[in-house]
Structure 1
Amino acid sequence: MITRDIEQFLAAARRAPSDFGPATARAAFLVAPDGFRLAGQSAADNHYMADAGAFDAARASAQHRDLHRAIAQVLPAVCFAGDPETPDALFPNNVFATTAGRYVVGRMRHPVRQREATRADIRGFFGGVLDYAEIDLSTQPHPCELTGALVIDRARGLGFAGLSERCDAEGARLMHEALGMRATLVFDLADGEYHTNVVLAVLAGRAAMVCPGGFADPAVVDAIAALYAPHAIMLSPAEHAAFAGNAIALSEDTVWMSDGAGRALAPATREALAAAGFALHTVGIDAIEAGGGSLRCCIGEVY
């Protein structure tokens, strides 16, 4: 079921058992920030991106290696080489996503990012090494930037698809079908928001971090809060701006975000994460955040 009807979605979501699959990924993949610089096309609809002068490629590369080393302590993590012709490729979760036995290639809005979908090495890893079946959405006309636009509760098979210039209604439907969601709620992001995963994180199927200002309709925020109570954590505008909503659970008991996001957390937010059973881990990636994304955007998940 894919719907804009909040009550219909909630009814289905509350019936969904936690047996859709593992709540967190079994491995991760990254793409190195080789050629990291301002991508003008991407900046057109991503207000989080810094000006060109704020990009420090060497510092971003060093921080990306730090990120790789850190998450490799929790789960296997592979890193593919970057490509100077694709300066946004260090955010691979928008282009490639996985579910049990298959991988999906997304359709990016901007031509500079559409090049990423043609990478033979990443396709070969999933199709040849892991023997996953391919679902290629990259050549159809509807933008669907995968787990940037679609936040997934992997335990229950629930999707939260925020519409923007990076994902339209048909793109949301295609992702829902390709990833086999049981139920997906479709809604509009607030003006100026480009990806759902900047304003919403579902953590190991039992908690949610929500930036209310990122949603066009407050009723969607209320629905998510009701579904994940008592572990629905509402983030302040300051936490939102620091990318605290761009978090990810890499195991049942750890949640990861950037160091800047961690420093912005209010004491009540830290207490709420601990009450939900999560230890907080942070990595300094301020140079990477100049590119308009944060820690979760850097991590592709292997299910």
Structure 2
Amino acid sequence: MITRDTRAFLEAARGCAPDFGAATAKAAFLVSPDGFGRADESASDNRYMADAGGFDAARALDQHRGLQAALSGVLPTLCFPGLPDAPDGLFPNNVFATAPGRLVVGRMRHPVRQREAARDDIRGFFRDVLGYAETDLSGQPHACELTGALVIDRARGLGFCGLSERCDEEGARLMHAAFGLRATLLFDLAPGEYHTNVVLAVLAGRAAIVCPGGFADAAAVEAIATLYAPHAVVLSPGEHAAFAGNAISASADTVWMSAGAASALSPDSRRALEAAGFALRAVPLDAIEAAGGSLRCCVAEIY
């Protein structure tokens, strides 16, 4: 099922047992911010991106190394080199994502990011080292920026796809099929939002972080909160703006976000995460956040 009908989706989702697959990834990979800088094409529809003067490439590289070191304490975390002509290529989860035994390559909206999909080192790693099959969506015309646009509950096989200039309805259908999902809810993001994973995170299949201001349709927010109740953490505008929605569970008992996001969390939000069984882990990423993304955007999961 792939639908905009929140009632139909909720009815179907409630019947999906958590037996679709592992709730969290077995490994992850990053891409180093070696070519880090302001990508003007990406900035055209990413309001979170700083002006050119707000970019510090050396500090971003140092913080990125810290992120890899921290994540490596929880799961194997690889890092591929960045490309000099891919200034925001440190967000690989938009371009590459996996299902068990399969690599999915997305179609980026902007040409500056489309070149990332041609990387044979990353494709070759999955093909020749891991033996993964490949589903390549990069050559078709519909934007589908993978786990930036599509937040997935891996335990139950559910998708939550926010539509924007970075993902249209046909792109959503292509991703739904590529990941073999049981049910996907389609909804429009609020004006000015570019990716779903900035306003929604599903944590290990049993909790959700939701930023209502990022959704154009309140019914979608209500459906998601209902599905994950009592562990739906609804964030304030301030928490949303600090990237607290751009979080990820790297293991069944941890939730990761940037240090800036963690510092913006209210006591109620912290208690809600603790009640859901998650220890909060935070990493300084303010230099990276100048590029309009945060911790979740940096992490491509390997299932």
Instruction: Please classify the TM superposition score into its range, dividing by the shorter chain length.
Output: over 0.9
Amino acid of the residue matched to residue 300 of structure 2?
Answer: G
Aligned equivalents of 1:218, 1:19: Cα separation in 2: 29
Q: Secondary structure at the match of 1:104?
A: strand
The whole-number CA distance in structure 2 between the counterparts of 1:172 and 1:88 is 23
SS in 1 for 2:46: coil
Q: How is 1:109-120 mapped onto 2 (pairs within 5 angstroms)?
A: 109-120=109-120
- The 5 A counterparts of 1:17-56 are 17-56=17-56
1:218 match: 218
**Structure 1 segments of 4+ aligned residues over 4 angstroms from their partners:** none
Alpha-carbon distance in structure 2 between the residues aligned to 1:217 and 1:119:
37
Q: What residue number does 1:9 align with?
A: 9
Look up the match of 1:147: 147
Alpha-carbon distance in structure 1 between the residues aligned to 2:201 and 2:297: 11
Code of the aligned partner of 2:266: A
1:225-245: CA deviation from partner (whole Å, max 9, x where unpaired):
100000001000000000000
Q: How far does residue 251 in structure 1 lie from its aligned partner after superposition?
A: 0.3
| 1:65-214 equivalence runs, <5 A | 65-214=65-214
Aligned residues: 303
Question: What displacement does 1:109 show?
Answer: 0.1
Would you say 1:250 and 2:250 are equivalent positions? Answer: yes
What is the letter of the counterpart of residue 228 of structure 1? Y
Q: Does 1:260 align with 2:260?
A: yes
Counterparts of 1:13 and 1:88, CA distance in 2? 35
CA deviations on 1:32-86 (whole Å, 9 max, x unpaired) are 0001000000000000000000000000000000000000000000000001101
Equivalent residue of 2:90, what SS?
coil
Distance 2:187 2:87 in 1: 29
CA shift at 1:263, angstroms? 0.2
Structure 1 partner of 2:299: 299
Q: Secondary structure at the match of 1:84?
A: coil
Cα deviation per residue 1:16-41 (whole Å; 9 max; x = unaligned)?
Answer: 00000000000000000001000000
- The answer for unaligned runs of 5 or more in structure 2 is none
The alignment-based identity, stated in percent, is 74
Partners of 1:59 and 1:84 lie apart in 2 by: 17
Report the Cα distance in structure 1 between the residues aligned to 2:182 and 2:125, rounded to whole angstroms. Answer: 27
Q: Aligned residue for 1:283?
A: 283
Q: 1:289 Cα deviation (Å)?
A: 0.2
Counterpart of 1:221, as a letter, is: V
TM-score by length of 1: 1.00
- The letter of the residue matching 2:231 is H
Deviation per CA, 1:219-273: give whole Å up to 9, x if none.
1000001000000010000000000000000000000000000000000000000
TM-score after normalising by structure 2: 1.00
Aligned partners of 1:166, 1:15: CA distance in 2, in Å?
A: 30
Q: Give the deviation of 1:199 after TM superposition.
A: 0.1
